[in-house]
Amino acid sequence: MPKSARGSQIRRELGHPIIDVDGHVLELLPAVHPYLREALGPRLFETFLQQGPGVRRLWQRPSDREMLASRTPQGAWWGSTTNDPLERATVMCPGILYDRMEDLGLDFCVLYTTNALSTGSIEDPELRVGTCRGFNDYYAEAYGPYSDRLAMAGLIPMHTPEEAIAELEHCSALGLKVVTFPEGVLRPIEKPEANAGNPLVWPGQRHWFDHFGFESAYDYDPVWRRTAELGFAVTFHGQMANRPGMYTSANNYSFNHLGLFAAMMLPLCKSLFMGGVSRKFPQQAFAFLECGVSWARQLMLDSIGHWEKRRLASLDRLDPRHLDFDALDALVTGHGGPLSHVPESERRRAYETEAIDCGGPDEPDEWKALEVDSARALCEQFTGGFYFGCEADDRGVATAFSDTNPFGTVLRAMFSSDIGHWDVERIEEVVPEAFELVEDGVLTEEQFRDFTFTHPVAMLRSSNPHFFDGTGLESAVKELA
């Protein structure tokens, strides 16, 4: 049976719903303009029209030679859905997607923007906040009638906690049930001149990227708290902000895209984890979308190894003040050779200066924010509220369920189709392609159930137990409790 005919059959035979936590819409901008005009006012709306959506500005380019000369990165090209009219209309018109859901084998879809990507990087505060608001007003009206099967994610600006909370409350008032945050904010370095000559920063570097958790410019705890109070999970989607350094090729988009979303999400996840955010909000879901999960497994494993060897209780063995220099010198000189020919005063000075012992921070406990006393507790804290979106063809999802994960850990991988963008050839093939994970022995049917149903439900209901009330999944979700 061809894939195009199998989605609904697979869904019937599975006996459980399939939830897609990350599809994409392709906004017809003229339809959005009235909402943007209302939210921005005449002056800023004209600015928006002149500049265009931030994501569109990434697509403008001169010649290949000029791109190389300036090292301007190659952005996405031909990046939306196919030239098939039905495919294109499906992601533009919510009613068409809604009507096709049963045939696709999908019970519920969470949808994200395309034309409002990069909105989180708009520098002008009024333009940034107003653009988010205008798109959110449009989403609520255009997608609200289909809320029993579709949930459109509102856009949350994050330059300050205040603007984030204001738009969270607006999204709640609109009736939106999902929101998405940018992966960070580009901020100016307070004293860039102090970095002159430091090989760990770019020459002339004047900005850094704030990931909201570890060493953030603001305390974002009020944002996470208000998000939970309003019944939202925290979802992060790549390219809601522009992070310099991610794209490096001037002419090859595939080179730039390989590993892109994992590279975006790893420092964000690390920041929330090591900054203690996941510890302080253990019931809140933090979802990292369209990025896979294998990088997260490695981050978890590396965190365990670093904690075991660099937690406060383990640092004494590394303290150079505890080194017996007389015993060291006796071993060095007893060995003979060139080392013993160095004058004693030079040897002793070298012992103290030539190891990797640069000055440390005022607070030596680098894992203080986690407040854990065992590797198991660390692992539980990492996995407790983190969720990871994986596309249909991503066999790395197997790492989430691997028997080699420490302490029997299962990472919460979720089906994340990315319909509407170039990496989905045909929308009706996403469920059959995902089910190949079972057919090829990558996942068991029980693990596939977690991937496509149990984990998405847990994420969406983390702060809103009534998320699925009034939807076609209400009874199936109640059976999980």
User: Which pLDDT does position 3 carry in this prediction?
Assistant: 57
CB atoms within 10 A of CB 268: 23
Q: Is the full-model pTM beyond 0.85?
A: yes
Across the range 210-237, mean pLDDT stands at 97
Of 67-76, 286-295, 421-430, highest mean pLDDT: 286-295
pLDDT in tens, 136-161: 999 999 999 999 999 999 999 999 99
- Cα 130 to its chain centre, rounded Å, is 24
Q: Which helix (H) or strand (E) holds 207?
A: strand 207-210
| The pLDDT value given to residue 323 | 85
Burial 68-87 (b: 16+ CB within 10 A, else e): eeeeebbbbeebbbeeeeeb
- pLDDT tens sequence across 300-357: 999 999 999 999 999 888 887 888 889 988 998 988 788 888 998 888 888 877 766 6
Residue type, 286: F
Enumerate the CATH 3.20.20.140 domain ranges in the chain, comma separated: 3-188+220-309+385-480
Q: Which CATH number fits domain 3-188+220-309+385-480: 3.90.1150.10, 2.40.30.10, 3.20.20.105, 3.20.20.140?
A: 3.20.20.140
Model confidence band, residue 257 (pLDDT cutoffs 50, 70, 90): confident
- Could you tell me what percent of the chain has a pLDDT over 90? 74
Neighbours of 102 (CB within 10 A): 15
- Angle made by CA atoms 391, 392, 396, in degrees to the nearest 5: 65
The stretches of 218-343 forming alpha helices (DSSP H) are 221-229, 253-257, 260-274, 277-280, 294-310, 325-335
Q: Phi and psi dihedrals of 216, rounded to 5? A: -70, 155
Here the tokens at position 258 are 């390989």
In angstroms, the Cα distances linking 454 to 153, 156, 457 are: 20, 26, 5
